[in-house]
Chains A and B, each alone.
Chain A
Amino acid sequence: MAPLGRADEVSRKIKAGYIKANDRLTPVERLEIYSRSYWYRLIDSMYEDFPGLLAVLGPRAFDKIVRAYLADCPSRSFTLRNLGSRLHEWLGKNKKFAGNKIDVALDMIALEWAHIEAWDAAERKLLGPEDLLEPGPDLRIGLQPHISLLDLRYPVDDLRIRAASAHTEHETASNAVTKPKKRRALAVGRLKPQRIFVAVHRMDDSIYYRRLAHDEFRILEMLRERKPVGRALAKCVKESATPVAELQKNLEKWFASWAELGWLCGI
């Protein structure tokens, strides 16, 4: 579906052929009511979902990206919740839109999409004794579906928390036409690169960004890939720069922490 509102002469003729005028509006003017509402609704949804990206890029660049993205990737879902699902991939192929902020923009999108996923993803039954009846090298442990593991080049997590202070929950309304809303972007300085590992997760119905150690991140990634626990640990011990004794202590600490956070579940 081509977005409405790009009315060239041909589409004007088509619209006039299908749509009646009335005593106040031409066919094109009548369709433009829908066109404006379409763009307000979708752009508004992107502002709601990506306040961090808005802070990174500023309002002008953000608006340009959102409009170009929506023109290339119109919604393919019944819910606006999924509207930004292809933004990371799209911007990766259209880097010119973010200029020299492309890396931090891509990191921020990854974080913000993980935030959306964490909000309403399923929560499986926590790992229980019954899942550990046959511990051994083939034991597999699952990670809760609401957890995303991110390897980022910039510390965008803190910025997102600041940018989203005025963020509101997403909600679809019934049959209401969307009107334009005023938006304010958080003014931020340039972020310095810093590789961070982050788990975006949900606890007590709130979303948290938890920074992870590199080894911790790698083990969790392997669990997510459903690799046996024994193999994941062996690989980590083999490849880690941390002395084994220290790593062993860390492992105990990490597993205890993951269990406490409710991250572990059966497969």
Chain B
Amino acid sequence: MPANRFNGFTDYGIGIGLRIPHYDHILSRKPVVDWFEIISENFMIDGGRPLKTLDQILEQYRVVQHGVSMYFGSAEKLNREHLKKLKALVKRTKTPWLSDHLCWGSVDGTYSHDLLPMPYTFEAAKVTARNVREARDFLEVPVCVENVSSYAEFHVSEMTEWEFLNEVVERADCGILLDVNNIYVSSRNHSFNPYEYLNSVPADRVAQIHLAGHSKFQKYILDTHDHPVIDPVWKLYDHAIKLVGPTATLLEWDDHIPSFEEVHAEAMKAERFLPVAAV
């Protein structure tokens, strides 16, 4: 599924997250990168260096927006002012699709700045799908939801996480940003089979894939984005590609960020798995 209506019928390859420590390298050396993913919130501002840098990047590269604070799973309706700022950025970047997380994180205007886990109930799926539809209609761009890493589960849940994901995307008729590392992290934290999760994902809705590294502790795994991708996650990625076809893939590295070359080389390891699925 290299191109579908959920990624604007594009066929993007392997990209990396655009991060400040790499700005100088990218702008001066102009490395060959298929596309960059930006965190929308870092550019929802009125002026200054971030927007100037973004404009310079946009002159030479394809950029896709990824958000962290839309909180589709919050009970209240989306913040209209937030959506307006986001739409201004969408017009600037011309992002072919836009993603945010399947989570909640704010209550009555107070923000946790975290991606909090949801109770997997039909009611929550209904509310979340309403919010996703509202965002898509307002922003006028395909919207994808990303599965998050989680560390807690609710007694009230009526279904598994993958059933919940399916319920939301079917109700919202939206795409999926499939985070393979998050599936791995959550599978270890909640003792489920990550392949069962992957096998249940509607392949035709997958618009993009995320890869990242994480940190292992004695009793749980934390999604820290500060390590290379581990082999079990590459194996999951391999399986995902076999299911959904070559798909726009993005490596996230957000802490203890190494050189641009190292991050890019780590992302390009994904190439090993793409031709097989393409055959």
The residues of A with any CB-CB pair to B shorter than 8 Å are 1, 17-20, 22-25, 27, 29-31, 33-34, 37-38, 41-42, 74-81, 119-123, 145-146, 168-169, 171-179, 202, 205
> Does B82 lie at the interface of the complex (its beta carbon under 8 Å from any beta carbon of A)?
yes
Residues of chain B in range 189-234 having any CB-CB distance to chain A below 8 Å: 189-191, 212, 215, 219-220, 222-226
Can you identify 6 A-B contacts, CB atoms within 8 angstroms? A18-B154, A41-B114, A78-B41, A121-B48, A168-B20, A179-B226
Contact of A177 with B219 in the complex, beta carbons under 8 Å: no
Q: Say yes or no: A174 contacts B112, CB within 8 Å.
A: no
Q: Are A22 and B42 in contact, CB atoms less than 8 angstroms apart?
A: no
Interface presence of B153 (CB below 8 A):
yes
Stretch with Cβ within 8 A of A (4 or more), from B6-14, B144-152, B164-172: B144-152
Establish whether residues A174 and B252, one from each chain, have CB atoms under 8 Å apart when the complex forms: yes
The answer to whether B191 and A22 have CB atoms under 8 Å apart is: yes
Q: Are A74 and B110 in contact (CB under 8 A)?
A: yes
Q: Is chain A's interface secondary structure helix, strand, loop, or mixed overall?
A: loop
| Whole-angstrom distance between the Cβ of A144 and the nearest chain B Cβ | 9
A119, B48: Cβ atoms closer than 8 Å: yes
In the assembly, what is the distance between CA of A30 and CA of B186, in Å? 12
A169 lies within 8 A of B41 (CB) = no
Residue from B45, B66, B220 in contact with A174 in the complex, judged by beta carbons closer than 8 Å: B66
Contact residue among B48, B110, B152, B190 (Cβ-Cβ distance under 8 Å from A120):
B48
- Further pairs besides A27-B152, A176-B224, A179-B224: 7, Cβ < 8 Å: A20-B154, A34-B114, A78-B106, A120-B48, A120-B49, A172-B113, A174-B39
Interface pair A120/B45, CB less than 8 Å apart? yes
Chain B residues with CB under 8 Å of A178's CB are 255
Residue in B152, B156, B252 whose CB lies within 8 Å of A31: B152
CB-nearest residue of chain B relative to A206? B49
- Inter-chain contacts of A81 with B (CB < 8 A): 45
Q: Are A205 and B219 in contact (CB under 8 A)?
A: no
Give the distance to chain A from B249, nearest Cβ to Cβ, in Å.
15
Nearest-Cβ distance from residue B188 to partner chain A, whole angstroms? 10
Q: Which of A22, A174, A178 has the most CB of B within 10 A?
A: A174
Q: Say yes or no: is B178 at the interface (Cβ < 8 Å to chain A).
A: no
In the complex, what distance in Å separates the CA atom of A31 from the CA atom of B112? 13
The reply to whether B148 and A172 form a contact with Cβ atoms under 8 Å apart is: no
Q: Are B47 and A146 in contact (CB under 8 A)?
A: yes
Q: Are A122 and B47 in contact (CB under 8 A)?
A: yes
Does the CB pair B222–A172 fall under 8 Å?
no
Listed from nearest, the 8 A-B pairs whose CB atoms lie closest are: A173-B254, A122-B46, A205-B49, A120-B48, A176-B225, A120-B45, A78-B69, A24-B219
- Interface contact B223-A176, CB-CB below 8 Å: yes
Interface positions, chain B 1-59, Cβ under 8 Å from A, are: 17, 19-20, 39, 41-42, 44-52
